[in-house]
Every structure is written in structure tokens, then in C-alpha cells.
């Protein structure tokens, strides 16, 4: 016990309290990011926006309005970095930490790979054994997998990058002095975002192109986003008692509410309704960071209004929704959009309602059939509490 850093002992002592205190408005941000990514993928050229639909004005407008939806991944990374610190317990070994993450992410991944294989036997979709094997070993997003054609689990590059970077952060926090680790992460954030912005002309979302034969955007985005969340978590844990005891006068509440409104307006407007004019997409990361801090401080009216149990219930479905939606899009492309484009032209709104409904239902079913039961069973069988 004497080898555990003092700050980690404090974290362990407050662990029970933090487990009970669910950050409900952060779950709202998780849901918002998930919806932005799903809607963006619906209008990606290789799925819906094919040449047959160029004359549908509604789809042309929606394509332009949702082009920045994929930046919701940055918000996912920041939230993940925050909860890494919020629940950090260095009594685990690195192997146990990685095993916990695999138990968290892989049941849903493997189930979709198996379902995709079974469907591929009918000739409806393509299926690549070796590429899916790489996904199981968490190699996509690391530069070790060459991207040829899209697969039904391409979106798992996010979880792959997440696992590798979180493992690095855990190893550093477990074995090195906290001040040195913080300095390393801070410098890494700066250079990661600088390299991404300069090599991609202000964009954040290219995950496959390797810069200078060594720098992989997926890992850089993960390192930088998780790093920002890491420092938000450090700030929150170090000031949690002060935050709870702070009282604000009416002017402070109004000011914080205005700040929350501006951030929420920017996020909803630019993730769903139109493309931000600023070419440097780092503006999204800045707004996401400010929003996280405001929601954790929870003194404005919007952060309080969104601090509801309903978002906890919705938030638990986000991973299954994120993982299943690409598979559903493959099915719709093969069974409906390619073979029956006339139906889409006649019923463009009904087509959108149908695909979104099927994705939502499939994600909820996957959660209850695979994700939740597998998590309970595997946790009891393989996870050892330190």
C-alpha cells in the first residue's frame, strides 16, 4: 500500500462516492456525439449519397449540413479521457486494465463480425476474414492495416485507438511521477494537434493517411482528445469539493447560462445543421472542452436542465448504436438503395425515417442481447477487483 501515490489513494477513497454520482449531463453530450456521427455516416457518399440521388434536393442539403458530424468523435475522445481519470485505479496491472477494455468493447465487435459473415454467405455484402481479424486485435487506426474497401466494422478504429492510448496513459500514471506524466501529455497534445492541423489543412478527420511515414492521424486524435479529457478530469477531481460548495449569485448564473447556450448552439448548429465556415476544425475541440467544463461545474441553467436520468438511460446505448449503424447502412445499400432507387426517389423522407428507426432499434437490441449480458458475465468471470 505504501507504493501507491498519494493522489491515487485519494482517488480510491473517493471512488465509492464518484461511482454513485452519475454525471448525467455528460451522458447527454455522449448521446449528442453519437447521433452526430450516425447522421454523418448516413450521408457519406459510399452509403446513401450515390449518383442515383443527385437530383433529390433534400439529400443534397442534408449532405452539406452534416459534413462536420464526424467531428463528434473528438467529443467521444475527450469524454473517454475524462472518465479515465475519474475512475482511475492504479492497483490494477496493465494487463488487467487492457483486459477490462477488451471485455468492454469486444463482445459487440465480435457479434457484428459474426453476423456480417453469416449475411455475406447470401452474397448481399462483402466480408474479409483477414481484415476483420485485424480489428479483433485492435490494429486499425494504428497504421498497421491498409484500408482498401469499407467494412461493416470500420468505425472500430475509434475503439482501437482508444484502447492503445488509454493503455499508454495508464502505464505512465502507474509507473512514473504524476508531474512528469502531465508534462509529457501536455506536450503531446500540442504537437499532435499541430501536426494534424498543418498536414490536413485544418481538418481533423482523416484517419488513414500516414504523415511522414510514422504519424497516424487516428492515434494522434486519440492521444490529443483523451489528453484534453485527462486534464479536465484532473481539474475536476482536484476541485470537486470546491465545486460542490460553490454558490453563484444571479449574475453568475446568467453569465454561465449564456456561455452554455453559445456552446450548445455552436455544437448543434455545426454538427447537424450546417458546416462551420472556419477551416481550422480545432474550434470544435475548444468548444467541446469549454462545454465539458461548464457541464461539470453545473451552475448554468442548461447544464442543470440536461442533468436528467433520461440521458443516463440513453447514454448506455451509444456504444451499441455506434457499432451497429455501419452494418445496417451496408444492408440498406445492398438491399434497397442500389436495387430500388426509384423507391427512394418517391419516398425520400420515409427512407430516412426507416433507416434511422432501424439503426435505433438494432442498437437497443444489441445492447440488451449482447453488450449488457456479455459485460455482466465476463466481468464476473475474468475481472479481478484489486
Q: Is the pLDDT of residue 193 over 70?
A: yes
pLDDT value of position 121: 92
Span between the terminal Cα atoms of the chain, in Å = 11
**Poorest-pLDDT segment among 13-22, 178-187, 223-232:** 13-22
Residues 136-157: tens digit of each pLDDT: 999 887 777 776 667 888 889 9
Per cent of the chain over pLDDT 70 is 88
Show Cβ contacts of residue 301 under 8 Å, excluding neighbours closer than 6 positions: 253, 257, 260
As separate numbers, helices (DSSP H) first and strands (DSSP E) second, the chain gives 18, 0
Is 277 or 272 the better-scoring residue by pLDDT?
Answer: 272
Strand, helix or coil for residue 232: helix
Q: Is the pLDDT of residue 4 over 90?
A: no
Q: Is the pLDDT of residue 204 over 90?
A: no
What confidence category does residue 200 fall into, taking pLDDT thresholds of 50, 70 and 90? Answer: confident
How far apart CA 344 and CA 155 sit, in angstroms, is 26
Q: Is the pLDDT of residue 371 over 90?
A: yes
pLDDT value of position 210: 62
How far apart CA 35 and CA 72 sit, in angstroms, is 9
Is 22 or 35 the better-scoring residue by pLDDT?
Answer: 35
How far apart CA 196 and CA 215 sit, in angstroms, is 9
| CA distances for 48 relative to 7, 30, 328, angstroms | 50, 25, 12
Is 14 or 185 the better-scoring residue by pLDDT?
Answer: 185
Is 166 or 51 the better-scoring residue by pLDDT?
Answer: 166
pLDDT value of position 206: 67
How far apart CA 253 and CA 251 sit, in angstroms, is 5
**Residue-by-residue DSSP string for 280-320:** -THHHHHHHHHHHHHHHH--SHHHHHT--HHHHHHHTTHHH
Amino acid at each position: 500500500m505504501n507504493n501507491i501515490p498519494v493522489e491515487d489513494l485519494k482517488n480510491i477513497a473517493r471512488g465509492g462516492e464518484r461511482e454513485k454520482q452519475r454525471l448525467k449531463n455528460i451522458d447527454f453530450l455522449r448521446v449528442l456525439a453519437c447521433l452526430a456521427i450516425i447522421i454523418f455516416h448516413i450521408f457519406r457518399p459510399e452509403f446513401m449519397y450515390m449518383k442515383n440521388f443527385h437530383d433529390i434536393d433534400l439529400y443534397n442539403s442534408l449532405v452539406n449540413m452534416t459534413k462536420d458530424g464526424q467531428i463528434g468523435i473528438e467529443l467521444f475522445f475527450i469524454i473517454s479521457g475524462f472518465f479515465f481519470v475519474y475512475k482511475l485505479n492504479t492497483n490494477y496491472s496493465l494487463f488487467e486494465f487492457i483486459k477490462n477494455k477488451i471485455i468492454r468493447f469486444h463482445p459487440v465487435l465480435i457479434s457484428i463480425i459474426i453476423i456480417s459473415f453469416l449475411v455475406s454467405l447470401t452474397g448481399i455484402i462483402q466480408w474479409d476474414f483477414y481484415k476483420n481479424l485485424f480489428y479483433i486485435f485492435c490494429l486499425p487506426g494504428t497504421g498497421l492495416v491498409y484500408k482498401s474497401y469499407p467494412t461493416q466494422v470500420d468505425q472500430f478504429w475509434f475503439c482501437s485507438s482508444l484502447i492503445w492510448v488509454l493503455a499508454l496513459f495508464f502505464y505512465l500514471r502507474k509507473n512514473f511521477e504524476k508531474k512528469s506524466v502531465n508534462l509529457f501529455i501536455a506536450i503531446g497534445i500540442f504537437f499532435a494537434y499541430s501536426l494534424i492541423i498543418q498536414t490536413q489543412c485544418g481538418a481533423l478527420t482523416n484517419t488513414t493517411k500516414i504523415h511522414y511515414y510514422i504519424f497516424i492521424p487516428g492515434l494522434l486524435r486519440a492521444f490529443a482528445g483523451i489528453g484534453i479529457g485527462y486534464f479536465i478530469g484532473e481539474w475536476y477531481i482536484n476541485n470537486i469539493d470546491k465545486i460542490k460548495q460553490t454558490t453563484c449569485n444571479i449574475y453568475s448564473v446568467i453569465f454561465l447560462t449564456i456561455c452554455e447556450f453559445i456552446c450548445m448552439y455552436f455544437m448543434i448548429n455545426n454538427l447537424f445543421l450546417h458546416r462551420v465556415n472556419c477551416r481550422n476544425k480545432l474550434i470544435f475541440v475548444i468548444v467541446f472542452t469549454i462545454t465539458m467544463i461548464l457541464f461539470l461545474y453545473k451552475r448554468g441553467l442548461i447544464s442543470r436542465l440536461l442533468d436528467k436520468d433520461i440521458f443516463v438511460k440513453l447514454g448506455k446505448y451509444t456504444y451499441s448504436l455506434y457499432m451497429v449503424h455501419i452494418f445496417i447502412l451496408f444492408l440498406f445499400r445492398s438491399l434497397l438503395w442500389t436495387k430500388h432507387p426509384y423507391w427512394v426517389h418517391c419516398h425520400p423522407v420515409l427512407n430516412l425515417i426507416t433507416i434511422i428507426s432501424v439503426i435505433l432499434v438494432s442498437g437497443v437490441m444489441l445492447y440488451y442481447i449482447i453488450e449488457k449480458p456479455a459485460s455482466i458475465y465476463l466481468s464476473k468471470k475474468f475481472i479481478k477487483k484489486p
